[in-house]
Amino acid sequence: MKKYKIGIVGATGAVGQEIINLLEKREFPVSEARLLASSRSAGREIQACGNLEVVSETTPDSFKGLDIAIFSAGSQNTEIFANSASKNGCVVIDNSSAFRMNENVPLVIPEINGDELESHRGIISNPNCSTAVALMSLFPLHKRFGLKRFFASTYQAVSGAGAEGVAELDEQVKEKFSGQGRGPNDDPVFQHQIAFNLIPHIDSFREDGYTKEELKMRNETRKILKNPSIQVSCTCVRVPVYRAHSISINAEFDSPVNVPDARTVLENFEGVELWDLPNALRYPMPINYSEKEVCGVGRLRLDHGFKNGLALWAVGDQLWKGAALNAVQIAEELIKRKCLKNL
C-alpha cells in the first residue's frame, strides 16, 4: 500500500491533537507526519503515527515534499501559508473559515458531497462544526423530501473554544464548589461565566443581530447542498458541556413527510446513528457522542408548526466530525478517488 507524507498545521492545538489521534486510529497510510505550529511550540516532541516527532515552526517552505497538509491553526495562518503549500504540490485541507465561501474552493462533507473533491484546485475547506453536525442529519432527509427551510438552535460545548475554554469551565466549577479556583481571569475566553450558565453569543455580532457563527450555518448549508434558496435561521448558544455539540432542528420540506420514512433514510445513511426511543429514555446526548465518529439523531417527530415539517435533535463530536475526523475523511476520499495532485 502506498503511503503518504502528511503535514499537520496547528499540531499542538486541540484539533491538531485529534487529527494525530484519528490518523492512528483509522490506520491512515502515513510515511511521514510533519508537525507544524507557531514558533512558541517549535521544539516540542509529540508521539505521532508511530514515531516521536519534533514540532517545527510553520514557514512557506514547510510543505515541500508533502502530499497533504491539514490546517487547524485559524484563518490567519491559512491565509498566510495555504497558497504556499498548494504551490508546492501539496493538497490543503483547511479547518478554518478562510476559504469556505470561495467559489473556487470546495466545501466538503465526504458523505454528502465527496464528488466535489474531483474538481479541487489544491485547497479544500472543512465546514463549520455545527454545520457538519446539522447536515449529517438533514441531508438524507433532504434527498428524500427536499429541504425548504430550517430553524436551528445549537448548544455548543466549551471545547469548541479550544483547550482554554475547557480550562475556564474547570476553574469556575472548582471555584464554586471548593474555593480552589484561581479566581477571576483577566483575559476570559467567554463573555460571561460559563459554569452553570448558558451564553447565547458565539463569535461577533453583525448589524442584523445575528452572529458570524449563526450565519455560517445558513451560508455553508446553501453551498454544500447547492441550493441558495434554502432558508435558515440559527441561534448559537455556548453551554457548560465539555465536548460534543447538540442541535435542535425544526425543518420544513417540499414534499409531504412522515416519520417512518424519515427514520428509514436516517438509519440507512452512513455516519448517522438513529438513537430514538424516548419512552426508554434513549436519545442522543453529548456524553454519549464524545469521541464517537457517527452523529446521533433522535427526538424525531412531525413538526406541527409546518405543513411538511419534522423536528429532531442531533448530536455530534465537534472536534471529530465537526473538524478533525471530517478532515481525515477528506484525505481518505482524495486517495480513494485518485485526485491528489501528485498521485
Given the residues 129, 234, 236, 295, select the one marked as catalytic.
Answer: 129
Nearest CA to 326 out of 297, 286, 294, 288 is that of: 294
Quick one: how many helices (H) and strands (E) in the chain?
9, 14
**Helix or strand or coil: residue 244?**
coil
Residue 129 bears catalytic tag: yes
Burial tier of 171 (Cβ tally within 10 Å: 0-12, 13-18, 19+): middle
* Torsion angle defined by CA atoms of residues 250, 126, 136 and 330, in that order, rounded to the nearest 10 degrees: 170
SS3 letters for 108-164? CCHHHHHHHHHHCCCEEECCCHHHHHHHHHHHHHHHHHCEEEEEEEEEECHHHHCHH
How far apart, in whole angstroms, are the C-alpha atoms of residue 135 and residue 153? 14
How far apart, in whole angstroms, are the C-alpha atoms of residue 114 and residue 97? 19
Given the residues 49, 90, 234, 245, select the one marked as catalytic.
Answer: 245
Cell numbers that stand for 247 in this block: 442541535
The neighbour count for residue 230, using CB atoms within 10 Å, is 18
Residue 234 bears catalytic tag: no
* Torsion angle defined by CA atoms of residues 92, 94, 220 and 28, in that order, rounded to the nearest 10 degrees: 80
Sign of the four-CA dihedral 54, 57, 63, 67: positive
Nearest CA to 76 out of 60, 92, 58, 96 is that of: 96
Q: What amino acid positions are annotated as catalytic residues?
A: 129, 245
